[in-house]
Structure 1
Amino acid sequence: MKNVRSTVVFCLLAAIFAAFALSGCSNAKDAKDTGGAGGKDEQVKLVFWSHQADAFIKSYRSMIDQYEQDHPNVKIDFQNYPYDAYNQKLKASFSASHPPDIAEVFGTWVPEYSNNGLLAEVPDGESRKEEYFEAPLGGFMHDSKLYGLPMEYNIENGGMLIHPQMFKDKGIAYPLSTWPELVEAAKKLTVANGDSLKVKGFDFASGDNITFTFLSFILQQKGDYWGENGHVNFQTPEAVKAMTELKNLIVEDKVADLTTFGGQLDTSDYFFKGGSAMAYRGPWTIATGLDSYKVNDFEYVPVPSYTSEPPFFAAESGWGLVVSKKSKHAKEAWDFINYVTSKEQLRKWNLDTFTVPAKKEVASDPDFVKENPYMKTSIDILEYGRWIGPIWDRDYLFKQINDHFQLIVAGKITVEDGLRKIEEAVNTSQDQHK
């Protein structure tokens, strides 16, 4: 289906960013098309873009060096850009018809490109789908076809950071088995300081986790949040119960608050500073504690399901690799991506970047957990992940849920009115993108 709004945005961005986008892009003068990687005489140049993240860049460069040694006729021009500007630069390059051959993209960005026919389909896509978990693949799919391969499983729910000493001091055993047990433990672990909280018993109030926990609570009740025609449906008993539970954690149970919500620091930063006993956050935050805060007196443990059902959760598709349909060297580009996503290389990349494996054979490798034991909690629940669904504007969805959650907690609107307003706003956005 043609995305008119996306097309207009692409054109506007092209006018603004065209000069910037043209720098470093591949063109016909850079190389001759050999028709396949591994040719002996003619040289092929592939331009590869990624966002700036030290661990990612270091791991990519290592794989590029090895690949170029094994394929002396292929030269990979690896360029990376600050995250805040990267997606805009990608849009500009694609709209100016000078995109990189290979691009690292976040899964929620992909539909804007795949729906407009700008990406090359993954060769042998049907068989490749079976290699990955469902949730990471979702964003890379369009009309049942695969347009990229995920490098990670972007998971924000299912595990939490805890301070074992705080549990010991209160005589609380862990891991916790049920949701009521978690709430009761959180109450005991909370330390009040007048009207504020010195130590939050269960800090879940981050920009990502409010939304993901809300959606996961719906799934754990055997509910759904998708209606017809690409619309969300938050007018269900499951949605009302889920949002009410989140409100109660702050209003009635008083195990968390919104005093630091939207600030410069993440909930995990406050946790590592001793500001919470339990922090509901993705496993990527573990590296922050170990590397930035230099602490190791914490654990990453399972969060029990809200119901007696398995701990189903919603997840976005994370970082992955795509090939431009404009690439003159698509065959070589896919050969490089196949190398990067082979079990050996992808396993190393996931370990280097502290990311959760999207590929089943990497996640099931017992040596992976031995080398990074903090990952066990997340890996144990990957089968329960469900792709978040076809949200056109991810940031708008999250903003609507977060903004209305704050109003609900403040008592300015009811749970039911908040959910209705969220649904109306998101569905209007969905319709505008059709």
Structure 2
Amino acid sequence: MKKCWLAILSLMFILGACSGGGSGSEEDSSEAESSSGEEVTLRYFHPGVDQPGTREGIEDMIERFESENENVTIELETAGWDDAYQKLVTDLSGGSAPDIFFGGTRWVPTFAAMDALLPLTEQASEHIKLFHDPLQSNVTINDEVYAIPRGFSTRTLIYRTDLIDEPPTTWEELVDTAVEVQENNEDIYGFGVSGASHISTVEQYLNYVYQNNGDVFDEEGNVIINEPEAVEALQFYTDLYRVHEVVPNPVEYNREELPTLFSQGRIAMYVIGPWGRNMMGEEPDNDEFPYDNAPLPEGASKSNIFGSDSIMISNETEYPEEAWDFVEFITQPNEQKQYDLDQGLVPIQKDEMEEEEFHEDPFFSKYVDMIEYGHEAPKPTAWEPFQDIISEAVQNAMEGTDPQEALDEAAEKIEEEDLMPIQE
């Protein structure tokens, strides 16, 4: 039986579509009448365009597309990332969705279940092969491609080079190094992790699950987050706080707050993507808190989650050919490379990894090296309630609940809310 939240979203979407709204309504079609060379206007929604260093590159990209497709005009729309998901849900269900939109890949299953996305399998069967395999899997549901990967990042361990001679390479060494830092330095924790109710808590914890050869769902979509591998990972994650006492209270922080703790001299190590350097505000060789990065310490294996963002096309667009032309254009190798360099992102396409520009900086190059150990993200039917359930399990364990009990409860809630991946 479909879950209540999905039934409501789907009903809203159907009612919105029947009302005649959307990017293809009569009111919007005065500038766009056909796909045969007449004038076409496409609305493109990209969250976070007004963040520093973002708008100019995207507008230049649009200008390049329009110069090669003179009959197509791209109208750029934006909102903050915190508001983007709700705005898209509202627009999709209300019949006013943009033709093309950029967003978290974690949203793809929800929008696909709403029948809000244009399937791209036919157009993208070869194009999708440009991207790393886990990213291909992230946007594919029941062998149907629903989005094109656009941005992603790997993770490395950031560590203080004035306090740590050699970075840890295993879970055991991670604990030992953190303990040693604290024994030799007052008022600093050896490590930092997140436990706040936030997507970063889910991603940070799942890194340990994958490093312990665990997973959230099996190949048939059954919940296995409460099996031994994931339980052991949560035990290790919580022991950092409750047993070894080498991290500040994780429940008080999400991952994006760890760079501040690091630059304030309150933690000596933490895990983050390449954007962490900008968040710290200093280059690695600074005098106050010199640092470097290293591959993530491994458990039973070396792994890191491939969280990503993707581009989707509305199932209600009147101009699917032109919309696909735009998506294909901006994700062709030369354009994708330019976007990744502009945005400071890890190369998202396989051949892109070999480009010299991504290896000139030894710090950034280590993020490229971690691509080899990427693991696809889980694909619950709806990410937001799934995120809340996993975050709550982590927080409960941090506060003293037995990890097995916390994950048993999480598994039960995932099943009760029918959040398992979409199956045929």
Structure-1-length-normalised TM-score: 0.83
SS at match of 1:231: coil
Q: Is the Cα contact below 8 Å between 2:222 and 2:420 reproduced in 1? A: no
- 1:388 lines up with 2:377 in the alignment: yes
- Which residue matches 1:189? 181
Quote the residue 1:160 is aligned against. 157
2:358 aligned partner: 368
Q: How far, CA to CA, are the matches of 2:251 and 2:231 in structure 1?
A: 25
Instruction: Say if 2:345 is the partner of 1:345.
Output: no
Q: 1:268 Cα deviation (Å)?
A: 1.7
- Could you tell me which of 355, 358, 362 is aligned with 2:345? 355
Partner of 1:145 in structure 2?
A: 144
CA contact (8 A) 1:133 1:383 kept: no
Q: Map residues 200-211 of structure 1 onto 2, 5 A cutoff.
A: 200-206=189-195, 207-208=198-199, 210-211=201-202
Report the more deviating stretch, 298-307 or 342-351. Answer: 298-307
RMSD: 3.4
Partner of 2:48: 52
CA shift digits 1:133-173 (9 cap, x unpaired) = 13323342122111211111244x4x122221222xxxxx2
Q: Which moved more, 1:256-265 or 1:381-390?
A: 256-265
Q: Given the alignment of the two structures, is residue 132 of structure 1 paired with residue 131 of structure 2, yes or no?
A: yes
**Over residues 362-415 of structure 1, what are the superposed CA-to-partner deviations in whole Å (9 max), with x where a residue is unaligned?**
223232222x5432222112132222222123233333333333332333x222
1:227-242 mapped onto 2 (5 Å cutoff): 227=218, 230-242=221-233
**Which of 261, 280, 293 pairs up with 1:300?**
293
Question: Is residue 272 of structure 2 the alignment partner of residue 284 of structure 1?
Answer: no
User: In the alignment, what sits opposite 2:89?
Assistant: 91
1:176 aligns with 2:168: yes
Residue number in structure 2 paired with 1:100: 98
Aligned-pair distance for 1:87?
1.9
- What whole-Å deviation, never above 9, does each CA across 1:188-212 have from its counterpart, x for those lacking one? 112699xxx8322111225445433
Counterpart Cα distance in 2 of 1:234 and 1:9 = 27
Seen in structure 2, the aligned counterparts of structure 1 residues 112 and 395 have a Cα distance that, compared at 3 Å, is closer
For structure 2, list consecutive stretches of 5 or more residues without a partner in the other structure: none
CA 1:24–1:212: 2 relative to 1, 3 Å = same
Matching residue within 257, 278, 288 for 2:248: 257
**Partner of residue 275, structure 1:** 266
Gaps of 5+ in 1: 168-172
CA distance in 1 between partners of 2:24 and 2:284 (Å): 37
2:368 partner letter: I
State the AA in 2 paired with 1:153: F
For 1:124 and 1:73, locate their aligned partners in 2 and report how far apart those are by CA, in whole Å: 21
**Shift, 1:350, TM fit:** 1.1
Q: Which residue of 1 aligns with 2:213?
A: 222
* In 2, Cα distance between equivalents of 1:77 and 1:341: 18
Check whether the contact 2:23–2:316 (CA below 8 A) recurs between aligned residues: no
Letter in 2 for 1:355: L
CA contact (8 A) 1:191 1:201 kept: no
Taking the aligned partners of 1:57 and 1:24, their CA distance within structure 2 comes to 26
CA contact under 8 A between 1:140 and 1:148: conserved in structure 2? Answer: yes
**Alignment partners' CA distance in 1, 2:173 and 2:272:** 19
- 1:397: which partner in 2? 386
Deviation at 1:259, TM superposition (A): 6.1
Question: 1:11 Cα deviation (Å)?
Answer: 4.5
SS at 2:340's partner residue?
helix
Distance of 1:304 and 1:432 partners within structure 2 = 30
* TM-score where L is the length of structure 2: 0.85
TM-aligned CA distance change 1:89 to 1:291, over 3 Å: farther
Q: Residue 266 in 1 paired to residue 257 in 2?
A: yes
Q: Which residue of 1 aligns with 2:39?
A: 43
> SS of the residue aligned with 2:265?
coil
Q: Residue type matched to 2:202 in 1?
A: T
Tell me, in whole angstroms, the C-alpha distance in 1 between the residues paired with 2:255 and 2:233. Answer: 27
Q: Cα gap change, 1:382/1:421 in structure 2, threshold over 3 Å: closer, same or farther?
A: same
Alpha-carbon offset, residue 263 of structure 1 = 7.0
The answer on whether the counterparts of 2:100 and 2:312 sit within 8 Å (CA) in structure 1 is: yes
1:10–1:92: 8 Å Cα contact kept in structure 2? no
- C-alpha distance in 1, partners of 2:101/2:363? 29
Cα distance 1:115–1:12, how it changes in 2: closer, same or farther (>3 A)? Answer: closer
Report 1:104-119 matches (<5 A). Answer: 104-119=102-117
